[in-house]
Amino acid sequence: MAHAEKTVLLADHSKFGARSYYRLARTETLEAVITDEKPGADFVANLEANEVELLYGN
């Protein structure tokens, strides 16, 4: 990721808000998030604060 031109997270909606034993990346390192459903308001606000583009299905 450190050498990537653009870092994009692709995840289905069930992953948002879930706790895990590890962290792949911090929000501020992402350029975009692609998902199937719009995440909750807190997650969206975090993306907006870090200027991360959000793309989601209907």
Distance CA 43, CA 9 (A): 13
pLDDT in tens, the chain (58 residues): 889 999 999 999 888 877 888 878 888 999 999 999 999 999 999 999 999 999 998 7
Q: Which pTM was predicted?
A: 0.85
pLDDT of residue 5: 93
DSSP β-ladder status, 8-10 and 53-56: unpaired
Q: Which helix (H) or strand (E) holds 8?
A: strand 8-10
Query: Using an 8 Å Cβ cutoff, are 35 and 12 in contact?
Result: yes
Closest listed residue to residue 54, CA positions, set 24, 20, 22, 16: 16
pLDDT of residue 19: 81
pLDDT of residue 46: 93
